[in-house]
Structure 1
Amino acid sequence: MQTSSARNPPAWAALSGLIQIKELSILLVTVAAGIYFTATSTGFNSADNYRTIAQYVAPWAIVASGQVMLLICGEIDLSAGFVFTLAPFVLTSFFKNGAPFAVALLGALLVAALIGAVNGWIRTRLNLPSFITTLGMAFLLQGSSLIISNGSPVPAPTVVDSGLVGIFGGGRWSEFLWALIIVATMQLVLSATRFGIHTQATGGNPVGAAESGILTNRVKVVNFALTSALSGFAGLLQGIRVGSFDPTNGGFNTMFFAVASAVIGGTALLGGSGTVVGALLGAMLLGIVYDGFNLTGVNANAFNVVLGIAILVAMLLNVYLTALRKRASSLRRTA
């Protein structure tokens, strides 16, 4: 009779343990990309270049933190990039009408969250697919940004309260630090709170979740509002960092990079599983590759080719690793 140690040798036990770490594969690829560009370009390992990469990564990671929650519960928000665009102009409107900077900032975030709540209400109450709902909202918000701004960039508040401005994007690393704080908070919410468990249940088994008493529609509305609020916050941080609010900034480009970061980081498009930390690693991989291409003189158009390949490989790898995790779990149960 075989013992459990014979059936599952230490090497396999260690391998099965590593397989259970969802972010391991994307972490290894991200490290490999960093090593490659370190070896092939002279300016990659410098403080200024690290800051450049952080400026790419921060907005994608913040928006992706919300998109992960939505994707896990089986939805998507195509308007997130345009909330990113609109929120700074909402702040400007409040600010020009006499509101203090802090109040204007809070007002812009509340408007962003309200936009997400409207998306969620239309999705859950009118039963319109989120793809259609948020696509329509995206064009509505794009037009609103152009109308409010008259199609021209406007300067961001910089001298009214230098302390607050420095905290909310004006500092050298503040945007990236906010991204790390948000990712850590959202990962904690997802993995260690009842709301996070309800989000995973809503996407993994919506019928079973509803029958067990989970208010699945409410979970979706909250996640829509959360995604929009985070997208608006990312837009504010970036606009304040740059010193200008641009109506052509954000849009579908930012939204697609955020979704790509989530998918590359291991979030399932069909819902039920994913990690916010994985989305951060996905954003870091995209930022490293994008920056590395610029440093090595590779045509920028090639980045889209790499992005497409990365998404396809990530999806195939997720399917393969999911099967391996199920096998490892079954072997542990039979041990």
Structure 2
Amino acid sequence: MMDKKIIFVVFATLGCILLTSALEVDTYDFLMPNVWPHRDELYLCTPIRISPHSNYYIVGFQPNATMNTAHHMLLYGCSEPGSNESVWSCGEMQTNEVDKMYNTASPCRSGSQIVYAWARDAPSLELPKDVGFLIGQNSPIKYLVLQVHYMHRFPEDKRDNSGVFLKYTKRRMPRQAGVILLGTSGLIAPQRVEHMETACTINENKVLHPFAFRTHTHSLGKLVTGYVVRQTETGDVWTLLGKKDPQLPQMFYPVVSTKPIERDDVLAARCIMNNTHDHVVRIGATNKDEMCNFYLMYWVENDTPLDQKYCFSVGPPYYYWNRARENLGNIPLSEI
């Protein structure tokens, strides 16, 4: 397989376009190197190394995949990749199963953060004006790792190059983008509608400007909702960030409220799941399992994004908002 640890170079196999703002944007084709998904429920990762001598800002993402081929894709930013291989097996929840074709490792060895996510034939994403994900010299992101989840085994004569075309520039963006992922562990009892909930307090002295959100579940998800909770003397005030049926294209949608998020505000997310099966369904890596994820994309002005990249709870039956250490009040009722 071809070596994908390629240094990001401005003029290497790139197409250049000029935007109306005179921002020069190049394209990098970050694709799986003709891999063979040789078994069901396979997660594969491939990396690129960013040049340590320059800063780059990712300003757009154009997916090169279909839901018939890839269940979902994640783009990780890493300080170190999970492996030195050109491709490796990188299931989100590793099992004891030994893969005879690919070595097994996590997407990142250190410095893991989500940069982009795609599923269900979601379209391209272009970031707002003057907003970009900083990678390279002055960023903790020294590598990008593309993870693709293949639900089904491919025929022996078929290979895949799913991935994403990255739009980037060397021009400094005054607004750095970041993503925080809210999610849960837990289980859903048989024949039950369950609320899977999580919440975390912002403990950093930063002002976040939310601009997009994305939801992700598997087949049992009915509605995923994200909020900002501001605790006031008269009670907790819940502001909707976004809600979406996760069975729709799992793209990044504009947030409902762009009101800045500040220190001591609480981010909260809820997935409403309907388990029509006669068995327990748990959070896990395969399509037979479930996931409850709410991605919030934001920017900060002349600052760096949150050090906190993830906000997870243990989920049901042990965790709900009314048991959260944030002592949440005025909790919204079920929306279905």
After TM superposition, the score normalised by the length of structure 1 is 0.27
User: Relative CO higher for 1 or 2, CA cutoff 8 Å, sep ≥ 6?
Assistant: 1
Give the number of the structure whose residues are more often helix, by fraction.
Answer: 1
Higher-Rg member (1/2): 1
When normalised by structure 2's length, the TM-score is: 0.27
Structure ranking higher in strand proportion: 2
